[in-house]
Every structure is written in structure tokens, then in C-alpha cells.
A and B are shown apart, each in its own frame.
Chain A
């Protein structure tokens, strides 16, 4: 068994696209020569992605190899030495609001401080009375955890980030602000309330710029943003995904999904039928000591298999009567959208992926059935449908009826695992027709 399967790794992909993602290019050292093909500064006409070269596995004494190495090194240095500038036209200035969302200060600089204080007091009172109200008395309809505002937003990032208030300022959540400052796309200023009036010359009301270190210090740990969550967020953002907070971000709230009950009805009947079948089996008494298939004549193998099915299994389609609460690390905290998905800030569509973030140093063990079950139940039903799925049983099983992605973060290294609620019990393999004799193409080798 082992020997032939080991060979399988080198065979062409068997039937459908089996897990072939395992050669992760990002794990390898790059051949930087492809950078030469990239036009600096970026030329929009050239859109084809660079191709990777082949790899030499050991040094040999040819000049040729040395030249390649040199060229690659040169390309890397060349790319690194290219000046990276921020155009003043694209500069976006934001202000840090340590006390959370607040209405704009008065225009007069001298009055700003008092104004701000009253405003934040007001806000705080509101927080106490009504925790998660989106519309406060001050007219700010932004998330509570926002702490940076951009008075003059421009650029593509604000299409999928931040939330505008009544005064047309865009409020950013800490992870959004941190991501933008990491990218160099945002210039965050300390508020005057923190630094005190800085303007000796008094020419402008721009505060002191916030350093990257200060940004990390201010924003991580704020509003439930752990380092783990941030590294997942920023990693996916950099890859082009749109990432927003899910309702399960805070510990108190839990994502609740309404599911259509139409298919459950039918399957409920089916389940009851199965149950009845079990009972009927039991009543005949053959399961006590066996044989489970019963004595006497068997008319078909399918009957035998049906009689053998005595072990109950979890059906992800039927609703669990008391919905279990998810336990903190195993809870959807991010909704992720593919770059191709059309995303609107005001009305986010159903997410492409749901991600739970786990710190592998505090949660050292993988989830138990109860934890994973609750997590999966908090996601909507996503049954394997479609032409391809109908055809391929393996694909259906791999897809599952619900799915969620676990991002396991171990000291900054993120590994993603897709969990699918498979329900093998719903796929009767014995009822599948054996494939007909194949004509041409790849034939599996004989194997024992």
C-alpha cells in the first residue's frame, strides 16, 4: 500500500483537482531575475505576471551558473535600490482619536481642547447607557472601536475600509489604520489633546506625526485587536482580499445565522425514516448478537449495506435543537471576500470565507468536537451543489455542508486550515456506479 501510494505523488493528478497546493512558492527563495522584467516605475501596459525560472540544486564550476547568480543578485539589489517615494498629492493625513469617535472639534484651535473633552464625556456616558448603538447623540454612526479619522479621504483604500460620519470624515478601525500606516499610505497625527499645543510658530494645526512604533503601541490591544488577529488581517489584505470584522469579534456577541428551513423538512423526514429503520432493525433483535444483516437470503448488496447502517452519525443539515455557544478562540472573527467579489461597504455581501483566529500558544490543542461543532454551526449551510459537485463524489465530500477557516497563529506564523463538515454518512458509496472501462488517458496502476 505504502509503496504504491508514495508513487502516486509523482503521477498526474488522478481524477479531480486533488490537493495540489502543497508546493507553496512563498516558502522558497526567489530567483530575483524576474524583477528585471518588471518595469520601474510601474508600467500599466505590461500586465503579465513574471514567470519563475528553474532551480539549480547544487553549485557547479561553470561561469554560466555564477553569472546567473550574479544577475539574480544584481536584480534584487536593483529592485531594492529603486527609490520609493510618496507623492505629496497622494498624501492622506489622519488624526488619532484616543477616546474613540467624537464629533469634530470647533474650528477655533484654542477652544478645541474643551470642546473635545465635553464631547468625549458625552460619548462615554452614551457608552455606558447603550453599548453598541450605531447612532449616538452626536450623530456618529461609526463602530465604537474606531480610533483614527481621516478628514479628507482619498484613494482606493477607502472603498473597503472605514466608515464615514456626518461630517464626511472617515473613521478607521485600529487594524485598518495600522495596515495603512504599515503600507505607508497613511500619515497619522497625534491629537493636540495628547501632545499639547505644539505650534510655537502656530502656522498650522497639524499635530506631531505618529511613528510606526507608536502606532503599534496604540492600536494593538485596542478593541479586541490582538497581534494574532492583526497578522491575519494584514496578511490577507496584502494579498488583495477584503477583510472585515465579523459579528463574533467581541466576546459577548455571537454570529447568528438564519437558515432556510425548506430542505431541513424533507431531510428531517428522511432522518426519521432512518431512525425508524434503526428501531425496526432493533425490534427484530438481530443487532443484539448479530449478524446485523440477518440470516436467510439476501436479495442485493444495497439491502445488506442498508441493514448494516446502525451507527448514528452527525447530520450537518438538521438543526441542533439548542444551538451551542461558540467558545472564544473558535469563533468567526473575520469575513473575507475575494478580490474578485464586488464589495460595498454599506451593504457587505455574504462572505467568501469565514475565519477564526487561534493563538497556538494559548490554545495549544486543536478544537474538540464540541468546540468545532459550535463553530461550524455558527456558519450558514453551504451544501455541495453544482454540476461538478453532482458528478464528483470526492469533491462533494471534501467540500462539506458547512465550512470555516481556522487561522492558527504561532508566534507570527499563520497557517490556515479549511474545515469542512463532510457528513460521509450522507454519501452512500455502495450506490455509486462503478466507473466504466476507461478509454485512453491515465489508468490507475494495479495496487494491493
Chain B
């Protein structure tokens, strides 16, 4: 309908007005606001150019027939020999009350996030961005955090939905009028007329999607502008008043209120604060946020990469890697097991760490998938670049003959492995909804073995776990026929 404004003359200005109401200033400033310029993104390729928080020093290329290249290689060797480059060692501390690893140093937080996407900001959704958001709220900083982007997109979508609802309502009203008119006109040709009008508008109404709504809005803004330039402003404002009730179609009161609130927090504060207290605010503003590492991440950074040292709760003594593993294993139960108690080969931490380490070693960015009902999400290169493609569910497996030796072990293994079909379908459907592929990751649990010897050799311990992954996807016979 909006694409053919001439055929339905009466509602078109209303549409235009309603659409332009939200951004009148922009319409007046820009001559043709057909497409809003996309806000400049930070250069993520540059920020996240290092996949791991380790520095690499590639040798200059050696070209056999060029003697100069040999010299450069030798030179680089020599420089490294004389002054070996310093490898950054980050520090974190383990809080045994919450069984979690924290980092409070700003530099370390940025480094671990930017190189490998480790951890989560305690006051943010994912990337520690509280300080930026807070600064922006106080009007000191113009940058845009991911939370802002999401909010904007949601507002936009909500508006479009309102628009769509309004259009549908309009079409219905129009059709009712047409039908009433046809009835009044008598029985001469009511059917034919009603049919023709309804058919014409029906198609437009039925095909009215969000995309269409967006187009309609652009068109509307253009039109309103033309109208503004031609007609006097008083006329336009009166039209605006008329159009206001048109917006209260379905869920409008709540939404409008919310919109108002969100707009006000973002837009109104700056004006009051920007001028006077800027300097004071900056000095007052302290970063209240810290980075929390999952225990798997902490062990990977410490044991796998050697880039992290974890301090005790008192923040004085560092925990050596082997006791760090024991500590995390104890803390994978709730309440944490006492140091005297024996640790099982299938304790949750070991199983999930084997999976974490495996996928990290393949180059995936592994992050928690609890929001999707899975253990892990696998990102290629990182969450700022693309959505996660794979969602990982971890299930222990007890294939080793040891686990079927006694009745007790058998029931233990059965309990640990059992997942119902209902659970599987549930997880599978959720992943399909968010366009992720479900991967079931079986971890083969070894028999306990010599606990004492394995405690001291993490590598030997981890090598006993075997990972097997299968992809699961709903198969629809209707779509697989070709």
C-alpha cells in the first residue's frame, strides 16, 4: 500500500507524518535521508589481530640466492639473543568463596579480551565496557558500545513493528469502509466492487513485512519533506496531531512509555552535564568493573599458554599450575571438596577442560554457551567478527571396560551418560532457532589410574581423555528429496 500512495490517497500523509515524527530534525537537515549512514565501527581487525595473548617473533624470510636475507636472519637471531623480548605475564587472583578467578588491572583486562576474547566483564554483557557506557551516560564520551547497538536495533525494530501493526489496522478499516459503502450503494454491484477493492489491497496487506515497513518509512520521510517544503509548517503540525492516535494500535502505551524512558536516559543527560562538571567527573569516575575468567580459561592461560599467574585469595602467593588444577577440580563440586577427599576422573572440571583445551588448540574461540542451553559456543576468530556457528554440548562417555566391571560403576556411568530424547530435541530446536549447529562432544573418561603420579603430570592426565564430536541436525524428509 505504501508503495502505491496514489491509489489510497487519504492515509498516505498520515503514514508520512507518523514516520517522520520520530526524526524530524534529521529530515530537515539532510536533503535525502534514504539510508542512514552506518555508524563507524572500530577496526576490529586491528584491535584483535593477535589470536592469543602471546607475542610471536617471526624470522625474516630466508631467500637462498639473496645473501642479504641471511644476514637479516642472523641479525634477528642475535638481537633476540642479546636482548630477549619480554613476555608479558598477566596476573589474576582466585577467590575461593565464589570459586572464581578475577582480574582487576585495566591493562590486563584489555589485553586478555583483545587477544583471544578471554573472560567477561562483571558489569557488562560480554566485553568489559562498563566504563565507556558510564562515561557516555555522563556525557564525556561519544563511543558506542555493543549494548548501545543492541538497544538501538531493538528500538528500531519495535518502531517498525508498530508501523506494520498500524498499516494492517489501516487496511482493515479501509476495507470495512469499503464494505459498508458497498452495502449502502445497494445490491447493484456490491460483490464486484468489494471484491475488486479487497483483492487490490489484500495483496499489499498480506505481503506487508518488516522490510516493507522499512521502505514505507523511508518513502514516508521523503514525502513529508516534500510536504514541508510545499505546504506551510502549521498544516504539517496539525496533520501530526491527527496522526497521533494512529500509532496507538496494539501494544502502544507500554512501548511508547519505554521508548520515552530509553530516549531520555541517552539524550537528556548530556545537555545538563556536558558543560560544567566535566573535569570533576573524569577524576571521580573509577572503573568499578573487573574481568571474570572461567576456571577453564584461567587454567588454559596458565597451563596452556603460560601467560597468566593466579594468586591466592590474599593476593600474595601465586598458585603453581599443578595445584591450580587440583583447586579447580575441587571447586567444580558444590560445596567444594576438601583437599583430603579423592578426586574422580570424571569430575566436571576435567571433562569440560579437556573440551575447552581441545577446541582452543584448534584455533576456535571458545566461550560459555549457557545462554543457549549448551556448554560452549565456538566462534571463528572471535565474537566481534561473526556469530558463533557451533554450539557444543558435552557428555561424558564411559566406554572403558573399567566402568562396566561392577554394578556400582555401571549405574554411575549410566546416570552420568543418560540424556533423554526430549532433552536432545529441546537443545536441538533452540540451536536451530538461533542458527547454530549443534555438536555433541563425547569425552571418554579414563579409569582412575595412579592418582598420585597423574596429579603431578597434567599432560599425562589430559592425554587420557579422548574427545569425539558428532553434529546433530534435524532431518526433514520433505526437504531432502531433491
Given contacts A239-B478, A416-B475, A447 and B387 within 8 Å (CB-CB): yes
Residues from chain A with Cβ under 8 Å of B463 in the complex: 278, 282, 287, 310-312
Residues from chain A with Cβ under 8 Å of B428 in the complex: 417
Q: Is A301's CB within 8 Å of the partner chain B?
A: yes
Interface string of A406-448 (1 = CB under 8 A from B): 0010100001111111111101111110100000000011111
Residues from chain B with Cβ under 8 Å of A44 in the complex: none
Residues from chain B with Cβ under 8 Å of A24 in the complex: 476, 478
Nearest A-chain residue to B445, judged by Cβ = A369
CB under 8 Å from chain B, chain A span 221-270: 235-236, 239-241
CB within 8 Å of A: which residues of B? 41-42, 44-45, 50-52, 54-59, 80, 84-85, 125-127, 129, 145-146, 149-150, 153, 172, 175-176, 179, 194, 198, 202, 206-207, 210, 302-307, 320-322, 354, 357-364, 367, 371-372, 377, 380-381, 383-390, 395, 397-399, 417-421, 423-425, 428-429, 431-437, 439, 442, 444, 456-460, 462-463, 465-482
Given contacts A300-B56, A417-B475, A288 and B458 within 8 Å (CB-CB): yes
When the two chains form their complex, are residues A311 and B354 in contact, meaning their CB atoms are under 8 A apart?
yes
Q: Is A79's CB within 8 Å of the partner chain B?
A: no
When the two chains form their complex, are residues B421 and A8 in contact, meaning their CB atoms are under 8 A apart?
no
Residues from chain B with Cβ under 8 Å of A434 in the complex: 45, 381
Q: Which residue of the partner chain, among B42, B304, B435, B437, contacts A291 with CB atoms under 8 Å? A: B304
Residues from chain B with Cβ under 8 Å of A422 in the complex: 439, 469-471
How many residues belonging to A are interface residues under a CB distance threshold of 8 Å? 101
Residues from chain A with Cβ under 8 Å of B434 in the complex: 5-6, 8-9
Nearest A-chain residue to B50, judged by Cβ = A301
A405 and B470 CA atoms in complex are apart in Å by: 12
CB distance from A444 to the nearest CB of B (A): 5
A309 and B467 CA atoms in complex are apart in Å by: 12
Nearest A-chain residue to B467, judged by Cβ = A313
Q: Which 7 A-B pairs have the closest CB atoms?
A: A287-B459, A291-B306, A430-B363, A369-B397, A429-B363, A314-B468, A290-B303
Residues from chain B with Cβ under 8 Å of A376 in the complex: 470
When the two chains form their complex, are residues B472 and A418 in contact, meaning their CB atoms are under 8 A apart?
yes
When the two chains form their complex, are residues A239 and B466 in contact, meaning their CB atoms are under 8 A apart?
no
Nearest B-chain residue to A19, judged by Cβ = B432
When the two chains form their complex, are residues A417 and B129 in contact, meaning their CB atoms are under 8 A apart?
no
Nearest A-chain residue to B438, judged by Cβ = A19
Q: Which residue of the partner chain, among A26, A288, A301, A447, contacts B51 with CB atoms under 8 Å? A: A301
When the two chains form their complex, are residues A293 and B389 in contact, meaning their CB atoms are under 8 A apart?
no
Nearest A-chain residue to B199, judged by Cβ = A64
CB distance from B217 to the nearest CB of A (A): 17
Residues from chain A with Cβ under 8 Å of B479 in the complex: 21
A239 and B358 CA atoms in complex are apart in Å by: 42
When the two chains form their complex, are residues A417 and B149 in contact, meaning their CB atoms are under 8 A apart?
no
CB under 8 Å from chain B, chain A span 369-392: 369-370, 372-373, 376
CB distance from B174 to the nearest CB of A (A): 10
Given contacts A14-B387, A425-B362, A448-B126, A299 and B176 within 8 Å (CB-CB): no
Q: Which residue of the partner chain, among B45, B57, B145, contacts A297 with CB atoms under 8 Å? A: B57
Q: Which residue of the partner chain, among B360, B395, B466, contacts A313 with CB atoms under 8 Å? A: B466
A281 and B462 CA atoms in complex are apart in Å by: 13
Residues from chain A with Cβ under 8 Å of B55 in the complex: 298
Q: Is A196's CB within 8 Å of the partner chain B?
A: no
A54 and B175 CA atoms in complex are apart in Å by: 18
When the two chains form their complex, are residues B361 and A424 in contact, meaning their CB atoms are under 8 A apart?
no
Q: Which residue of the partner chain, among A26, A295, A415, A420, contacts B478 with CB atoms under 8 Å? A: A26
Q: Is A29's CB within 8 Å of the partner chain B?
A: no
When the two chains form their complex, are residues A301 and B432 in contact, meaning their CB atoms are under 8 A apart?
no
When the two chains form their complex, are residues B305 and A293 in contact, meaning their CB atoms are under 8 A apart?
yes
CB distance from A33 to the nearest CB of B (A): 13
CB within 8 Å of B: which residues of A? 1-10, 14, 18-19, 21-22, 24-26, 53-54, 60-64, 235-236, 239-241, 278, 281-282, 286-293, 295-301, 304-305, 308-314, 338-340, 353, 360, 364-366, 368-370, 372-373, 376, 394, 397-398, 400, 405, 408, 410, 415-425, 427-432, 434, 444-448
A124 and B202 CA atoms in complex are apart in Å by: 70
When the two chains form their complex, are residues A310 and B462 in contact, meaning their CB atoms are under 8 A apart?
yes
Given contacts A22-B432, A291-B303, A1 and B362 within 8 Å (CB-CB): no
Nearest A-chain residue to B355, judged by Cβ = A311
Q: Which residue of the partner chain, among A9, A281, A417, A427, contacts B459 with CB atoms under 8 Å? A: A281
A398 and B460 CA atoms in complex are apart in Å by: 31
A131 and B420 CA atoms in complex are apart in Å by: 38
A397 and B457 CA atoms in complex are apart in Å by: 33
When the two chains form their complex, are residues A64 and B175 in contact, meaning their CB atoms are under 8 A apart?
yes
Nearest A-chain residue to B38, judged by Cβ = A443
Given contacts A64-B179, A405-B475, A447 and B146 within 8 Å (CB-CB): yes
A53 and B442 CA atoms in complex are apart in Å by: 44
**Which of A9, A26, A400, A425 is most buried by chain B, counting CB atoms within 10 A of its CB?**
A425
A63 and B176 CA atoms in complex are apart in Å by: 8
CB distance from A353 to the nearest CB of B (A): 8
Residues from chain A with Cβ under 8 Å of B466 in the complex: 311-314
Residues from chain B with Cβ under 8 Å of A2 in the complex: 125, 371-372
A239 and B480 CA atoms in complex are apart in Å by: 10
A369 and B397 CA atoms in complex are apart in Å by: 6
A6 and B146 CA atoms in complex are apart in Å by: 14
**Which of A63, A241, A288, A424 is most buried by chain B, counting CB atoms within 10 A of its CB?**
A424
Residues from chain B with Cβ under 8 Å of A400 in the complex: 470-471
Given contacts A291-B306, A311-B465, A424 and B359 within 8 Å (CB-CB): yes
Q: Which residue of the partner chain, among B45, B305, B367, B399, contacts A369 with CB atoms under 8 Å? A: B399
Given contacts A278-B463, A301-B56, A425 and B358 within 8 Å (CB-CB): yes
Residues from chain B with Cβ under 8 Å of A432 in the complex: 363, 380
When the two chains form their complex, are residues A398 and B471 in contact, meaning their CB atoms are under 8 A apart?
yes
CB distance from A280 to the nearest CB of B (A): 12
When the two chains form their complex, are residues B481 and A338 in contact, meaning their CB atoms are under 8 A apart?
yes
When the two chains form their complex, are residues A448 and B470 in contact, meaning their CB atoms are under 8 A apart?
no
Nearest B-chain residue to A26, judged by Cβ = B478
CB distance from A136 to the nearest CB of B (A): 36
Given contacts A4-B387, A288-B460, A448-B383, A22 and B474 within 8 Å (CB-CB): yes
Residues from chain B with Cβ under 8 Å of A295 in the complex: 306
When the two chains form their complex, are residues A429 and B364 in contact, meaning their CB atoms are under 8 A apart?
yes
When the two chains form their complex, are residues B419 and A366 in contact, meaning their CB atoms are under 8 A apart?
yes
When the two chains form their complex, are residues B179 and A14 in contact, meaning their CB atoms are under 8 A apart?
no
When the two chains form their complex, are residues A420 and B146 in contact, meaning their CB atoms are under 8 A apart?
no
Residues from chain B with Cβ under 8 Å of A405 in the complex: 475
**Which of B80, B473, B479 is most buried by chain A, counting CB atoms within 10 A of its CB?**
B473
When the two chains form their complex, are residues A289 and B458 in contact, meaning their CB atoms are under 8 A apart?
yes
Nearest B-chain residue to A60, judged by Cβ = B172
A296 and B81 CA atoms in complex are apart in Å by: 11
Residues from chain B with Cβ under 8 Å of A239 in the complex: 477-478, 481
A53 and B207 CA atoms in complex are apart in Å by: 10
